[in-house]
A = this chain, B = another copy of it.
């Protein structure tokens, strides 16, 4: 299950575009029939990020809600389609959530590589095993998105699969830009900012820095941070923190203006690096930031001389929870 050196993680990153393409093939032709008034994505950590991306796709006619925990909202009923995403198929929070969903009459579709989950679902989308869950994002998200598009529950307009996978294929340039970002972050705590709509890319990067580089990192969004966290920069030191702004031309005009002005305020206290998304469709743009961040967190691990793959505290916690 684990790779033991940087080469293992590098291989996974290089093969990520192929993983996304394979996921689209797996979900091709799969769908669910029925009248649903909302989609609930249940998934933790790397398995939950896909739900965050989906929720942010503009123009979705069916509301998407993401549950990262044991319990589902009281309002879940027969009209809710539950997408249970658990790479291992044994994530106890997700199993608990779909048990509740089943008892409310909701239909459950599982995306998983195995475990206990398939026996509890009405429909199963199987993805290949053998990865760390966070390294299976391609399998987990692209099956989810294509399945919902096939089922008429996600709007294909802003989800250009071909553009996205083709853009991610430029691995060399993402690798290089990721290394530069890692050098910028090294030795300091990164504070990552995105717009609300690019939030999943910021949260993904924060988590990847935590897990790959075993390093603290935090994330907040615009415009909300303008109402609170902005004031904290008066108490932040250049040696301790560094700001990374993940920017997108598709962000609301006033959000872009806020980010421009705040960059100047941040720079009085800490160093700031901006990176811009690439691509045309929403999906390509957000995945260009996700893939860049994945490379950056990998390179930060190498700079810190830590093995990017194992996440020992998570494994220890799981054993202690038994």
Contact = CB atoms under 8 A, between A and B. Distances in A.
Interface of A: 38, 44-46, 48, 58-63, 68-71, 73-75, 92-93, 96, 134, 189, 191, 196, 206-207, 209-211, 213-218, 221, 223-224, 226-236, 240-241, 252, 254-255, 257-258, 261-262, 265, 304, 306, 311-314, 316-317, 320-321
A44 B227 contact: yes
B321 A261 contact: yes
A257 B61 contact: no
Contacts of A93: 223, 254
B224 A261 contact: no
**In the A-B complex, the 5 residue pairs with the closest CB atoms:** A45-B227, A207-B228, A210-B232, A214-B234, A215-B235
A240 B188 CA distance: 11
A43 to B, nearest CB: 10
Contacts of A255: 69-70
Contact of A227 (B59, B71, B234, B314): B314
A73 B65 CA distance: 11
A46 B226 CA distance: 11
Given A215-B232, A234-B214, A261 B317 contact: yes
Contact of A252 (B71, B210, B227, B252): B71
B257 A232 contact: no
Given A207-B229, A235-B214, A70 B317 contact: no
